[in-house]
Chain A
Amino acid sequence: MFEEASEVFDNMFKSSFPLTFIVFIPAVLILVSPLPAEAAHEFTVYRMQQYDLQGQPYGTRNAILNTEARTVEAEVLSRRCVIMRLADFSYDKYQKALRQSAGAVVIILPKNMSAMPQDIVQQFMELEPEMLATETIIPVYFAIEDDELLSIYTQTLTSSSSQGSLSAAEVLLHTATANGFQMVTSGAQSKAVSDWAITSVEGRLAGVGGEELPTIVVVAHYDSFGVAPWLSYGADSNGSGVSMLLELSRLFSKLYTYKRTHAAYNLLFFVSGGGKFNYQGTKRWLEDNLDHTDSSLLQDNVAFVLCLDTLGNGDSLYLHVSKPPKEGTPQYSLLKELEMVVGSQYPEVKFSMVHKKINLADDMLAWEHERFGIRRLPAFTLSHLPSHRSAQRSSIMDVRSVPHVDVSKLSRNTKVVAEALARVIYNLTEKVAPGDLQIFTEQMQVQEEHLSAVVEWLTAQPRAAQLVDKDSSFVSTLEYHMGRYLKDVKRHYVKADKRDPEFVFYDQLKQTMNAYRVKPAIFDLLLAVCIAAYLGMMYLAIQNFGLLYSVVRRVTQPKAKVH
């Protein structure tokens, strides 16, 4: 048969061109055909943080995943992709997966985070810093739950938990009916992003009345942080601080447009980037202003620096200081004015000062004011959080919904800060003005809708430091927004040093993951046996076709005779 075939092909190629075409085109197509991209399910996954800070690696170090899915209930987890749901997530299970050298961990987050019970959310928030505290070799991904993913999870759960005490027949049946899932990410290995620039924006309102006016600096960092950069919306931390800063700039720009209310204080507003990475933006800004230029508002006569951090909730306000202010300084008067405003206008708010010394031995600075404190500028941070260690400052659970940012409270806090600042700027001491004197009322009042819109805009996209580059629409919108109220709005960039980088970010933070339905190898072997048996039967049937033929003939013969 094969000699015949080769002869036929020879003739064919010599004689007719179209036939050659017909044979060759499919052959070429077959040879170049890539493997199909279609999968049982395709979904977006968000990778856990990966960064180096001061040479210390944090987060997951790997992005490539190509392994079979299991749930944590399975006996063997080594080199498997362990999938967990947030509802069942615990640090023990996570550690169990890591200990058993799992291939990867995928954590499925619910679509509607606010519907989750608060204790689970709280527990996860506490765990986030712990997951990031050390480096993890395997990739860790987060996915948002949908019906398909849930069904994959359930199928994996049943097949993972039913292993073990089964008879051989049950195992066989199981391999034929159950589905395994091969999880595959499409992206490449993560690598360090070179020349990443963190952007910060400053703007000012100049005072009148002579040279060498004192300067008040208002600072808020805009970047968010969470276990996965693409899921960090940072509504309260620090969307609330930025929105308060913008509202303050709006209010004071109004005051500064009238001659009668133009005060003898310079106001400097600074929205810093890289705040969650040891305040890199602020650090560089200070270096630029203090070391590299001759004239700067920061060099002479800074009254105080007020940092706004996480102010969108709660009924308490804490003024974090690294050195208690001395009587007679502007800082002290702001402290007194804040106490006065809170005490006389908002008695439901608890206001107190928290004193914490700067610990230079720590890897991370606690609050943003410490950056200024190191450079001997009088500074403090205002926050509703009693401690910098609070999990809310670095969680993906910090999203725009009522438990995290309450706009009415944010606007109340804004009012408190604005009143206190105004009392300091216009020197409205208790003797001159009573405590319940309200400056920002009627046309000058804090606009809640405005604050709400800004918070809405800030939380519309994740603002992790790795995602906001200098061309991003976020920075240009922020610049535009500040430009409406402030003068001399300009950007500052910070790039890590090439030789000894203070911070290194990595890419591949968002990927597409495919879940392919797969069967174990044993299944194919079983299938091969079945097919062989079937083909054997076919062979016998065709061989003995004569039998059928003769039976049919015998049946039909009497009829044939009748005809």
Chain B
Amino acid sequence: MMLVTTGRVILRNSLFDSCCYRSHLEAKPKSLPVVIDSTLGFHRVLLIFSHLKILGAPGGVMTLFHFGNCFALAYFPYFITYKCSGLSEYNAFWRCVQAGATYLFVQLCKMLFLATFFPTWEGGAGVIDFIGEFMKATVDLADLLGLHLVMSRNAGKGEYKIMVAAMGWATAELVMSRFLPLWVGARGIEFDWKYIQMSFDSNISLVHYIAMAAVVWMFTRYDLPKSFRLPVTVLLALCVYKAFLMELFVHVFMLGSWTLLLVKAVLTGAIALCSLFLFVTLVHSN
């Protein structure tokens, strides 16, 4: 206890010095009060950080720190999942990279297809072309094919195949569609919550792809019981049209960005839980 108090006094002392230095206070108290009020101490720390203006300079340390925050939030769950799911023990890294390459290929095909057959919507701003959006979401069926392709090329247990395909797929998406905006945006002087939201969104999409891979795996099994056909198909459709549904929600209910994120998380969680139920039932039924 003594040690802790002394440490805090020293800490406070040095912090107080820096505080004086930063804010050009003229007089420094000769003796520090012995009794340390925790609130006061906390207040002081806050004050000091609010005086560290040099760190907040544009392109400076603080913006890089903010980027680090977003980066950690976006990437660490992937890393944890990779480590804890045992994929690292299977030497699955190269397979994940392959899955990522497949992702790139599929996205390229989708883009070409969209650019060729879907004219740009020329309606007024704020009006959504529902049919067009629906058709575009239908193109996402190619993702299912891609996932199936990845899984069919890997031999192994079901879980392993699903995890490899989903990890590779989601990571490729993360790198391709989120890293650049984060790097450019979160490092800017301008603060915006959307980079934090984007990082959360990448966590959600990891869950989404794992569930999607599981559903695709179940769907392509020859020994899928008849009673499973319908729920699996419904889940598949939900997976594909999730983005479309979200857009619809935004348009109909005028959702804010945080609410949208919450709705997305809940929806994805529900899909994931359903597919987990189906998966467990299927794996352990025979």
Binding site for B on A (CB under 8 A): 1, 4-5, 8, 12, 19, 22, 26, 29-30, 33, 35-36, 38-40, 66, 68, 76, 78-79, 167-168, 171-172, 175, 179, 182, 184, 516-522, 524-525, 527-528, 531-532, 534-535, 538-539, 542-543, 545, 548-549, 552-553, 555-557, 559-560, 563
- Which of B59, B72, B85 has the largest count of A CB atoms less than 10 A from its CB? B72
User: In the bound complex, do residue B280 and residue A563 qualify as a contact, i.e. CB atoms below 8 Å apart?
Assistant: no
Q: Which residue of A5, A19, A79, A532 contacts B53 across the interface (Cβ within 8 Å)?
A: A79
User: In the bound complex, do residue B52 and residue A531 qualify as a contact, i.e. CB atoms below 8 Å apart?
Assistant: no
When distances are taken between beta carbons in the complex, the residues of chain A under 8 Å from B277 are 552, 555-556
Name the interface residues of B41-79: CB closer than 8 Å to any CB of A: 42-43, 45-46, 49-50, 52-53, 55-59, 62, 65-66, 68-69, 72-73, 76-77
User: In the bound complex, do residue A531 and residue B88 qualify as a contact, i.e. CB atoms below 8 Å apart?
Assistant: no
Q: How far is the CB of B273 from chain A (nearest CB, A)?
A: 8
Asked whether B180 is an interface residue with its Cβ less than 8 Å from the other chain, the reply is yes
User: In the bound complex, do residue A531 and residue B56 qualify as a contact, i.e. CB atoms below 8 Å apart?
Assistant: no
Compute how far the CA of A40 lies from the CA of B56 in the bound complex, rounded to whole angstroms. Answer: 17
Compute how far the CA of A8 lies from the CA of B180 in the bound complex, rounded to whole angstroms. Answer: 23
A516-B188 in contact given A76-B23, A531-B72 (Cβ < 8 Å): yes
Asked whether B191 is an interface residue with its Cβ less than 8 Å from the other chain, the reply is yes
Compute how far the CA of A19 lies from the CA of B69 in the bound complex, rounded to whole angstroms. Answer: 29
Q: Which candidate, B5-13, B89-97, B229-237, is the interface stretch facing chain A?
A: B89-97
User: In the bound complex, do residue B50 and residue A521 qualify as a contact, i.e. CB atoms below 8 Å apart?
Assistant: yes
A and B contact pairs by CB, cutoff 8 A, 30 listed: A22-B101, A26-B180, A30-B180, A35-B184, A36-B184, A79-B53, A516-B58, A516-B188, A516-B190, A517-B191, A518-B56, A521-B49, A521-B52, A521-B56, A521-B62, A522-B49, A524-B62, A528-B65, A528-B69, A532-B72, A542-B85, A545-B84, A549-B280, A552-B277, A553-B284, A555-B277, A556-B277, A556-B284, A560-B285, A563-B225
When distances are taken between beta carbons in the complex, the residues of chain B under 8 Å from A524 are 62, 65-66, 69
Compute how far the CA of A314 lies from the CA of B94 in the bound complex, rounded to whole angstroms. Answer: 88
Asked whether B80 is an interface residue with its Cβ less than 8 Å from the other chain, the reply is yes
Asked whether B122 is an interface residue with its Cβ less than 8 Å from the other chain, the reply is no
Q: Which residue of A22, A40, A535, A542 contacts B72 across the interface (Cβ within 8 Å)?
A: A535
Binding site for A on B (CB under 8 A): 23-24, 39, 42-43, 45-46, 49-50, 52-53, 55-59, 62, 65-66, 68-69, 72-73, 76-77, 80-81, 84-85, 88, 91, 93-94, 97, 101, 104, 175-176, 179-180, 183-185, 187-192, 196, 203, 225, 227, 276-277, 280-281, 284-285
Smallest CB gap from B84: residue in A: A542
Smallest CB gap from B285: residue in A: A560
A521-B190 in contact given A36-B185, A535-B76 (Cβ < 8 Å): no
Q: How far is the CB of A462 from chain B (nearest CB, A)?
A: 31
Q: Known pairs A26-B176, A36-B185, A531-B73; list 14 more (Cβ under 8 Å).
A: A22-B101, A22-B104, A35-B184, A36-B184, A39-B189, A39-B190, A79-B53, A516-B188, A517-B192, A532-B72, A535-B77, A542-B81, A549-B276, A553-B284
Q: How far is the CB of A167 from chain B (nearest CB, A)?
A: 7
Compute how far the CA of A4 lies from the CA of B91 in the bound complex, rounded to whole angstroms. Answer: 8
- Which of A168, A525, A557 has the largest count of B CB atoms less than 10 A from its CB? A168
A557-B80 in contact given A35-B189, A516-B190, A518-B189 (Cβ < 8 Å): no
Q: Which residue of A175, A517, A542 contacts B80 across the interface (Cβ within 8 Å)?
A: A542
Q: Which residue of B81, B188, B191, B203 contacts A519 across the interface (Cβ within 8 Å)?
A: B191
A36-B43 in contact given A542-B84, A552-B280 (Cβ < 8 Å): no
Q: Is the interface of B mostly helix, strand, loop or mixed?
A: helix
When distances are taken between beta carbons in the complex, the residues of chain A under 8 Å from B46 are 168, 171-172, 175, 522
User: In the bound complex, do residue A563 and residue B69 qualify as a contact, i.e. CB atoms below 8 Å apart?
Assistant: no
Compute how far the CA of A524 lies from the CA of B67 in the bound complex, rounded to whole angstroms. Answer: 10
Smallest CB gap from B65: residue in A: A524
When distances are taken between beta carbons in the complex, the residues of chain B under 8 Å from A518 are 56, 189-191
User: In the bound complex, do residue B284 and residue A560 qualify as a contact, i.e. CB atoms below 8 Å apart?
Assistant: yes
User: In the bound complex, do residue A556 and residue B73 qualify as a contact, i.e. CB atoms below 8 Å apart?
Assistant: no
User: In the bound complex, do residue A29 and residue B284 qualify as a contact, i.e. CB atoms below 8 Å apart?
Assistant: no
User: In the bound complex, do residue A535 and residue B73 qualify as a contact, i.e. CB atoms below 8 Å apart?
Assistant: yes
User: In the bound complex, do residue A520 and residue B56 qualify as a contact, i.e. CB atoms below 8 Å apart?
Assistant: yes
Across the A-B interface, give the 6 residue pairs with the lowest CB-CB distance, nearest first. A522-B49, A516-B189, A516-B190, A556-B281, A4-B93, A36-B188
